[in-house]
Homo-oligomer: A and B are copies of this chain.
Amino acid sequence: MAIKLWDLAAAEDDRRFSPNCWRIKMALRHKGLEVEEIPWRFTEKDAIAASGQGAVPVIEDQGQTLYDSWTIANYLDEAYPDRPLLFAGEEAKTLCFFFKHWVERSLHVPFFRVIVLDLERQLHPKDKAYFRSSREKRLGKTLEDFAGDPAQALAQLRGALDPLRPVLAESPYLAGRTPGFADYLLLAEFQWARALSAVRLLEKGDPISAWRERVMDLFGGYARNAVGYPA
C-alpha cells in the first residue's frame, strides 16, 4: 500500500512548496517507495491531527503516523533497510544531522528573504492572513521590511552558500558519488524557491548550479517536473 504524505500546497493544488516536504518527497523516491501525496494547507490542522501536532510533512505508513522530516528519514532507512539507504552509516548520519542544522540556521532565512513576497502572493486565499500574521510576529517586522532590497537579499543568499562551493566543485553530490539525504536537504530549499519565485538564484558557472541540475534530474526528473519557475 502506498505511503500517504500530507504535502503543503499553494493556491493551486499542484504547486508544492514546503522545503520540509520536499526533503521527504525526494527521500521516498530515493527509497523507491510508492507515495500518495495529499495537498494540504497551513490552516487545515484537523487533517493531520493524528500526528499530534500541526505541521507537515506527515506520513502514514503501515498504520503508523509520523511527523518531522528527520524522524521520517530515519524511519524510512529503519523500516526499509534493503532499499537504497538515505545515510551510509552512523558517521555519515551524524555529519548529515550537522548539515541539516547548518541549512536551517544559515541558509533558510536568506532563502526566505529572497522569496517571501512571492510566497505570500502564491498562497491559497484562506492561508494568507495566517501566514502574514504568524511570520510577522516571528520576524518582528512586516514581510516587506524583512524582504528589503532584492539585490542585497540575493547577494546575502549567494554568500551564505559559500561553504558548499569547494565541495560541489570536487564531488558530484554532497553524499559523494551518489546522492543521499544531505543532497535532498539542500535541494529542498531550492525547490521551495522555484515553486514560488522566478528569481534566478545561481549564476551559470556556479558549481552549485551544476549540482542542482543533477539532483533535479534524479528519479526521471521528478524535482524538475514539479510545478514552478525555471531553475
Contact = CB atoms under 8 A, between A and B. Distances in A.
Chain A interface category by residue count: 20 to 34
Contacts of A174: 94-95, 98
Contacts of A177: 90
Give this chain's copy count.
2
A24 B98 CA distance: 22
Interface in A154-192: 162-164, 166-167, 170-171, 173-177, 180, 182
Interface in A81-97: 87-97
Interface residues of A: mostly helix, strand, loop or mixed? Answer: helix
Given A89-B88, A89-B89, A102-B102, A94 B163 contact: no
A163 B95 CA distance: 11
Contact of A173 (B94, B99, B175): B94
